[in-house]
A = this chain, B = another copy of it.
């Protein structure tokens, strides 16, 4: 059996030279306050063994990684009908472009561009009784952890600068692809992105993507195998903004990044791994996180290609 703990420790050494590269995101004021040198990894394999290094037990803002969780929740409600409102193809444009949305008549290319995630948020506002608390419970159950919470200051900070997201939401509404009140949908969306988790909690909550749809702690079925395959394929092709092709080559795993510096990656049937390091490259992905995952698949010789 692979000794992941040993591999992670090796990575911890090899990755040090990269600690000065990249910049903490300043797009959300509250996030810019984070210490730039944080670095942690948590990996849980399908033998349910946990391995971790560094700041893996410190909470951070998962930001866009939450888009996979909200999509999983919406997918439970709508199944394949989800794709009538949002596509499944890569975008080929900066992640928040209104241009594409206008040319494609209000149907976002995929659920991981901001416009697509706002449509998914609208689906949850329509289908959950108490959208914010119900969604939080959904995430807590996935991770089997009750301390997971929204960060209200981050949500507020994002709202205060979120005019481009408001533009997207209003444009979606003008095309009839938002059912609820725009402000309510945006409030849900900003909260969803503000969720804070540790690397360990994140790896545990995404475990069902590596485990055929079943959660780690209680073996609950969240999605069918076919649905898992769909979402893994989506993460593979669209998970890393305008660097999905590069990530597919360097890491070769489905995954999703966030501007808080987190990355989740899944090796189906093998493991689920979460990394965190706040300094981002110019494409918006964590420098050390990407490098660590590249080393991981090289060391384990487990790229899918």
Q: In chain B, what residue has the closest Cβ to A242? A: B89
User: Across the interface, do B249 and A234 meet the contact criterion of CB distance under 8 Å?
Assistant: yes
A100 at the interface (CB under 8 A from B): yes
Q: In chain B, what residue has the closest Cβ to A227? A: B249
**Residues on the B chain within 8 Å of A169, using CB:** 167
**Residues on the B chain within 8 Å of A163, using CB:** 170-171, 173-174, 182
User: Across the interface, do B244 and A237 meet the contact criterion of CB distance under 8 Å?
Assistant: yes
User: Across the interface, do B88 and A90 meet the contact criterion of CB distance under 8 Å?
Assistant: no
A–B Cβ pairs within 8 angstroms, 9 of them:
A88-B249, A91-B92, A92-B93, A98-B98, A98-B102, A166-B170, A229-B249, A229-B252, A254-B305
User: Across the interface, do B246 and A89 meet the contact criterion of CB distance under 8 Å?
Assistant: yes
Give CA–CA (A173, B166) in the complex, Å: 10
A65 at the interface (CB under 8 A from B): no
A110 at the interface (CB under 8 A from B): yes
In the complex, what's the smallest C-beta–C-beta distance from A129 to chain B, in angstroms? Answer: 26
Q: Given A163-B182, A171-B98, A171-B167, verify A237-B233 contact (CB < 8 Å).
A: no
Chain A: interface residue total (CB-CB under 8 A) = 48
Q: Given A98-B99, A182-B166, A305-B233, verify A89-B244 contact (CB < 8 Å).
A: yes
Give CA–CA (A169, B168) in the complex, Å: 11
Q: In chain B, what residue has the closest Cβ to A164? A: B174
User: Across the interface, do B92 and A89 meet the contact criterion of CB distance under 8 Å?
Assistant: yes
Q: In chain B, what residue has the closest Cβ to A226? A: B249
Kindly supply a per-residue 1/0 record for chain A positions 230-256, scoring 1 wherever the CB is within 8 Å of any chain B CB and 0 otherwise. 101110111000111110110010100
A262 at the interface (CB under 8 A from B): no
